[in-house]
A and B are shown apart, each in its own frame.
Chain A
Amino acid sequence: MIAAIEVEKRFEPKIVGFLCRWCSYAGADLAGTSRIKYPPNINAIRVNCSGRVDPTLVLKALASGADGVFIAGCHPGDCHYTNGNIKTLRRFKLLQKMLDQFGIERERVRLEWVSASEGERYARVVKGMTEDVRSLGPLNWKRTVEAVA
């Protein structure tokens, strides 16, 4: 009986979030003040700009046990630091190619634009990402990456 319950227990992915302070973190806060619910699988790290998110930190998160990484910044044109989000986008494109080479599904790392007024959108994309990563299952970094190596 207990074994049966164990089997049915849903996989809960761990997601590391990098949120820019000006837009996306504020958007996440707005989801809170508006009491919009979303899954608790994400924990956010507040950075000044999504441009601070070095792709190696994303890989580090995946290597350390995260099943997914969520990066969010201001919409293009709205960056508090002129165009840090565009730099993030460029790095993200390269990172996606690296993920392919590592054999990691692209869906595990997501870049989204979330403005300070988009609390509802923040909740929605986080929910979508949580579901996507849940359906992919746990990322076994050792098995995935070391098999490629």
Chain B
Amino acid sequence: MKRVGVFVCHCGLNIAGNVNIKEVVDKAGKQQDVVFAIDHKYLCSEPGQALIKDSIRQHNLDAIVVAACSPAMHEPTFKTIAQLSGLNRYNCEIANIREQSSWVHDDVGEATAKAHITVRQSIRKVRLNEPLQPITVPVTRKVLVIGGGIAGIRAALDVANGGYQVYLVEKSGTIGGRMAQLSETFPTLDCSTCILGPLMVEVYRHPNIKLLRLSKVEDVKGYIGNFKVRVRQEPAYVDEAKCNACGECAKACPAQVPNEFDFGLTWRKAIYTPFAQAVPPAYVLDAKNCLGLLPQACGECKKACDKFGTSCMDLDAWPRIHDLEVGAIIASTGYELYDATKLTEYGYGIFPDVMTSLEFERMLSASGPTTGEIKRPSDGQTPREIVFIQCAGQREPETALPYCSKICCMYTARHAMMFRHKVPDGQAYVFYMDIRAGGKGYEEFVKRCQEEKGLLYLRGRVAKVYEENGKLIVKGVDTLSGKTVQINADLVVLAVGMIPSSESHELASKLKASLDANGFFSEAHPKLRPLESPTAGIFLAGAGQSPKDIPETVAQASGAASKVLGLLSSPTLEREPTVAQVVGELCSGCGICLSLCPYDALSLNAEKIAEVSEALCEGCGTCIASCPSGALTLRNLTDEQMVAMIEAIVE
């Protein structure tokens, strides 16, 4: 017989406001084996935890039920206090009476009745829990970073500087990501490349970082501390160690392709370097746009390389498979832009002089298609009247993106300011809904823009953009004056929203990391564990988790890196011991379980009895549901416990 104690939390008024706490305590106290039941305003606080600790000692408890918030919140906290009070931590159960009771039922009577059943369920379960010891497993002290943008770069550098080996996987031919495409950064207006460039070089030179460009994660197996990752690296057809980026190959190449780095505003060859500051500083052959490799159609690049260059090309190269073993993974997969052609009212894709902010960004860049001059794509003329449309396709739950991308107010202000600096006699208009400039020095920056001459902020939406006599007619409303506005513009720039990178869904499946409703990686908890996925060992950095600017991205990347360093600081880690177990005398050796286990954790021993490898078992329990003789059981979630909980619900 166990001596069970029940602790019911008010959670301020979060639970107590909608659940009759006294009734829950009283009824819990009458349950079999319950020797003590009490409530507290905040059980997770120091006095709350002290109450649990003292009660365990005073009443000689050997199991506790904490009726409070979801176990996803504070289960570790309460298990730890149980352990510190001399209990086995697996003799602590959480009854979720907040997220699944007080918060979801209006009627106090109903919520109280449900809370009582939930507590009863946990009491029945904990009575049958057995004390367990965590399983200790070794940690592979290496890290995989997926995505070589500023988030991945920062995270990789921080982990590598901590002394651990990092594999940095990047899908394109260079690291740098979106930040490499930017001209300046707000609110300081310093040049993006001057911040990013040195970091990229540092990654390349770092003895602890192995950069795998043109690479994709193909498969992920294992668990925290012990992941096995297969990475497929496409050939660059150029030996990056030998290439000196002389560019003779590109001069010889006859295949012209729109340059994606400039969003098709310029051309590149099939053999190219993505941009001048690319890292690694080596050319890449884009096999898709090459005139032919299998069989070889032209080979001019290699001929030129052999003649003028360093003979670094191998047109017969094959993809390489890297099987990596790592202890932690940082997903820093970044963002893409929402497809602006879907916003038909703005005419993007129909009128050449309607462009996205990132395209405009390239035009502002000294290394961009116009070497920093602002020109209309249609005729190359300098635009005099320019309209910026903020929130393009954002905060539109019915038709486009429901959320705010957070950075557009800031970069649009910067764009408008840069336009005014570059075209001193020009006039800029900014259509906005609200100005969201929360950040250090941000409000001041936007204010400065708004006070610029020749720059007009109009609060309202644009209804339509169309072309007439070579001008773009922008029709909108100024909601402050209540008047409709028509502007005859030379150029229209859309602040299109950020969406998660197109590969993130596939990657999330491989990582078994969940995504939120908008496709961004979910964090385990926005305040308790914001830098990690609910899946242990997967950490998050950058805009792949939610739209964010560079300072926030960098901060999150360093934060994720410090979490990883904490994980790797010990050569071993503890895993949950709630794994499958075989009752040998019941096993018939049929082997059904072996074929179902996703982890190959089951095997038949010499006596043809199933055996569980505790280091491999993840505790999913699918083998248990399949065993025809009931020989398999899940520790602390046995069939007996399941039945006890079922009966607690229905009685």
Contact = CB atoms under 8 A, between A and B. Distances in A.
B467 interface: no
Nearest to A17: B649
A110 interface: no
A64 B514 contact: no
Interface in B35-69: none
B620 A52 contact: yes
A53 interface: yes
A32 to B, nearest CB: 3
Contacts of B357: none
A142 interface: no
A144 to B, nearest CB: 16
A129 B620 CA distance: 26
B589 interface: no
Nearest to B514: A116
B621 A47 contact: yes
B71 interface: yes
Interface residues of A, number: 50
Contacts of A117: 514-517, 522
A48 B621 contact: yes
Interface in B529-560: 534-535
Given A33-B99, A52-B621, A52-B625, A118 B650 contact: no
Interface string B508-522: 110010111100001
Interface string B103-114: 111110011011
Contacts of A47: 621, 637
A75 B106 CA distance: 29
A123 B106 CA distance: 14
B195 interface: no
A61 B624 contact: no
A66 B107 CA distance: 22
A52 B622 contact: yes
B23 interface: no
Nearest to B518: A117
A44 B620 contact: no
Nearest to B623: A51
B336 interface: no
Contact of A35 (B103, B598, B645): B103
A47 B619 CA distance: 10
Interface string A59-87: 01100111000000000011111111001
B106 A37 contact: yes
A135 interface: no
Contact of A66 (B117, B514, B650): B650
Given A40-B111, A52-B634, A84-B622, A26 B534 contact: yes
Contacts, number: 145
B585 interface: no
A51 B621 contact: yes
B501 interface: no
B621 A49 contact: yes
A53 B578 CA distance: 16
Given A117-B514, A117-B516, A65 B651 contact: yes
B639 interface: yes
Given A29-B70, A40-B114, A54 B514 contact: no
A23 B633 CA distance: 23
A124 interface: no
A80 B71 contact: no
B625 A53 contact: yes
A36 B649 contact: no
B98 interface: yes
Interface in A74-110: 77-84, 87, 91
B103 A33 contact: yes
Contact of A87 (B111, B114, B622, B651): B622
A43 B117 contact: yes
B596 interface: yes
B611 interface: no
A80 B537 CA distance: 13
B586 interface: no
Contacts of A46: 71
Contacts of B96: 29, 44
Contacts of A22: 512, 514, 534-535
Contact of B105 (A40, A60, A116): A40
Contacts of B99: 28-29, 31-33
A32 B624 CA distance: 31
A80 B643 contact: no
Contact of A43 (B70, B121, B522, B625): B121
Interface in B599-651: 618-622, 624-626, 634, 637, 639, 642-643, 645-647, 649-651
Contacts of B624: 52, 54
A142 B105 CA distance: 32
Contacts of B522: 116-117
B649 A66 contact: yes
Given A22-B534, A26-B514, A43 B509 contact: no
30 contacts: A22-B512, A28-B99, A28-B100, A29-B100, A32-B100, A35-B104, A37-B104, A37-B106, A38-B104, A40-B105, A40-B107, A40-B111, A44-B96, A45-B642, A52-B622, A54-B639, A64-B643, A64-B647, A64-B650, A65-B650, A78-B512, A78-B514, A80-B535, A81-B618, A81-B622, A83-B598, A91-B625, A117-B514, A117-B517, A118-B517
Top 8 A-B residue pairs of the complex, sorted by shortest distance between their CB atoms = A32-B99, A52-B621, A51-B622, A65-B650, A81-B620, A54-B625, A49-B620, A32-B103
Interface of A: 14, 16, 22-23, 25-26, 28-29, 31-33, 35-40, 43-49, 51-55, 57, 60-61, 64-66, 77-84, 87, 91, 115-118, 123
Interface of B: 70-72, 96, 98-101, 103-107, 110-111, 113-114, 117-118, 121, 508-509, 512, 514-517, 522, 534-535, 578, 596, 598, 618-622, 624-626, 634, 637, 639, 642-643, 645-647, 649-651
